[in-house]
């Protein structure tokens, strides 16, 4: 996320790079840890990759409405990921959050201004191993990454899950959404 963070700083955002022990706690515990690091005043926007996108929604829901800005989610498993269910054996190494990322019916979040970016650069043969069906980024399906985002606030780009935050088009779309609350028509294709 450091490269994306630096690009946000150069676009004149007062960006902060928050770190958390993703393998050591539950989603609720991670949310509490991050909440303690947030500024006490002002509007807050979030950009979160994968689990970070889920945490961003939780953090935004905990803010007073007048402080809520926009969220950009990069490959966030809003409806979970089949890969998490298949990786259950890795639970001792991945921590308690893995079980929370199994396929689920995510709570509605229409009250939040979310721009969802999904990747489509998965190698289809790997779907046999990961269990992720349909268009996906190698770990999260497009459907799950889009979550409940409305059609004008969701896009899919030819990027892989693990590297999407380094992609110039993803970064440009992230900045555009933070500034305008929408994605350009050609990205929504």
User: Which residues are CB-contacts of 109 (< 8 A; sequence separation ≥ 6)?
Assistant: 57, 61, 147, 148
pLDDT, one tens digit per residue, over 36-56 is 999 999 999 999 999 999 999
Q: Is residue 131 part of a domain?
A: yes
Q: Is residue 24 part of a domain?
A: no
Q: Is residue 18 part of a domain?
A: no
pLDDT, one tens digit per residue, over 89-136 is 555 556 667 666 665 676 778 789 999 999 999 877 777 777 788 899
**Residue 66 in this model has a pLDDT that exceeds 60:** yes
Which residue segment(s) compose the domain that 117 sits in?
2-12+37-188
Q: Is residue 139 part of a domain?
A: yes
**Residue 33 in this model has a pLDDT that exceeds 80:** yes
Total domain count, the chain: 1
Query: Tell me, what CATH number does 128's domain have?
Result: 3.40.50.1820
pTM: 0.90
Q: With the C-alpha atoms ordered 87, 93, 95, 97, is the resulting torsion angle positive or negative?
A: negative
């Amino acid at each position: 996320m450091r490269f994306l963070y630096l690009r946000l700083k150069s676009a004149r955002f007062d960006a902060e790079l928050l770190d958390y022990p993703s393998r050591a706690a539950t989603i609720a515990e991670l949310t509490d840890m991050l909440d303690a690091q947030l500024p006490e005043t002002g509007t807050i926007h979030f950009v979160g990759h994968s689990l970070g996108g889920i945490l961003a929604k939780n953090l935004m829901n905990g803010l007073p409405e007048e402080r809520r800005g926009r969220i950009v989610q990069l490959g966030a498993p809003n409806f979970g990921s089949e890969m998490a269910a298949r990786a259950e054996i890795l639970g001792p190494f991945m921590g308690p959050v893995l079980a929370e990322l199994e396929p689920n019916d995510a709570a509605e979040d229409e009250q939040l201004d979310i721009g969802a970016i999904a990747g489509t650069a998965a190698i289809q043969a790997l779907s046999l191993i990961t269990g992720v069906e349909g268009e996906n980024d190698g770990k999260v399906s497009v459907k799950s990454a889009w979550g409940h985002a409305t059609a004008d606030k969701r896009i899919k780009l030819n990027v892989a899950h693990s590297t999407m935050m380094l992609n110039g088009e993803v970064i440009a779309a992230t900045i555009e959404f933070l500034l305008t609350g929408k994605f350009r028509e050609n990205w929504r294709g």
